[in-house]
Chain A
Amino acid sequence: MKNSWALKVSSLGKIHGVPDLESLSDTGPDAGTAKSATTGSIVAAWDVSFEVSPGEALGVIGESGSGKSTVMRCVAGDQTSTTGEVFLQSVDHGRTNVLDLDPSRRRGLRVADLSVVYQDPAEGLRLNVTAGGNIAEALTAAGWRHFGRIRERAAELLERTEVPLSRMDDLVGTFSGGMRQRVQLAKALANEPPVVLLDEPTTGLDASVAAGVLDLIRNLLEETGVAAVVVSHDFAVIEMLTTRCVVMNHGRIVEAGLTDRLLEDPHHPYSQRLVGAARA
């Protein structure tokens, strides 16, 4: 089971401003800030490394501003990282750092190698397009041409994510938040990517709706064998979806471990505060 990762992130870093060494020494958990007092640069993420295996979900937890979403966006290709390497097993058997690919090839990875589910469905979907149309976009990008088969596959995906088929031809903009999130999941899974990144997938939804979406995600992760990275500030989400997680604080990973261990026996002072606050 060693070296069977689907996604490997190595020493990823993102600095807004001058990428110099000075900014690194006066930022981070010990400095208590991500902004360098000497250079004014913001070290949004630094030295972030992790691996995720097929069928495994890794959590990334931390307060807002800790760098979680930056890491996710750099891995997804929505942001350019300052340094680091990202490998996907599905790309050249994991031998090519996908950060070195030219932009069009990089964008192409989002078709079938790596999907993202955003907190805001408007980022992952086009709201002025129907639910079926949004999924069709993903399928045609992967080379699907037969209209009937595309409809069939779209219907199958919507059924799987519990979206009523009667809504298939309605604009996503007319959907509720929870339903939009389900369509986003359907689209993300359309081409059966080996890796899915989920950024706060239930944040902002009503509690009962969030619980339903969470159940759905959990079932999908279990049933598809996809490798998932779940970014969340919410321990309940991390606990339900992941077996391992990393804790981020001021742009750095301060602790990594089995999720139950991190919740019951957090070591780093920041993790202890975070868990303590969640339990209170």
Chain B
Amino acid sequence: MTIDATLPGAMPRPARRARPARWEAGIGHGLMILTALICVFPIYWMIVTSLRPENAIFSTRLWPDTASLENYAYALRAVPIRQMLVNTFIVSFTVTVIQLVTGILAGYAFARWRFRGSALFFGAIALTWLVPLQVVMIPNYLLVSRLGMIDTLGALILPHVASAFAIMLLAQSMRSFPSEVIEAARMDGASHAHILWQVIVPNLRGTLASLAILIFISTWNEYFWPLLLSRTPENSVVQIGLQMFITSEGTQWGPLMAASTMASLPILLIYLVLQRQVIASFMKSGLR
């Protein structure tokens, strides 16, 4: 079934005259460039620092005088980063997929039906943000230990099978999904499952891709919970690897920056790929 045909919104892109005035656009671009610089410069600094030798770490030169890969070599030697990256990828990918699924299901329930306790459940989900991890950490650790999952990747995934943010964002975008489309599908006798997975989900590609990026990154960057769990570096995630360069006796900045660069690049790549997906989905779907 094609949605495009039924939609009033399937229109060509707006005409040129809607563009802002030249000076307005100039200021806009100026501010955007400034913001972009502020956003990117620290990362540039991270990479530059990762190329500096140990005794020039605190140098303020914009360019490393003698670029060396020594910090990278050391980081790779000292910590099993490759294995950790693989582990982190597995954990982040799994968590992202599961959170999207639980989020889609729960979001649909909130958006689609009125049921007893709906507001209560919604509130309870939002309020999970307020529970500090440090308070539930020990009970959760005991639970994981009883499940025999200490030192496994499963223990890093299990407490994250649902996220309040995913549920709330999806509930909200499903609420503003045009009811005519759903109506049409109902007329065709489609089941709820069919409507959800065949009609709504494909049209939320943009939101889902954005959400996937965000879930993936926050899982990738999480470290409190993995820190409590970590027992062997080979079964741990990359944030633990980064932590290994930070000690109370002084941080090894060079290797830390090198390791961080290696840890950040995969997510940048994933962002670029998914971002393309976001754009593509807006372009392709005639719907919105």
Is this pair of chains taken from one and the same complex?
A: no
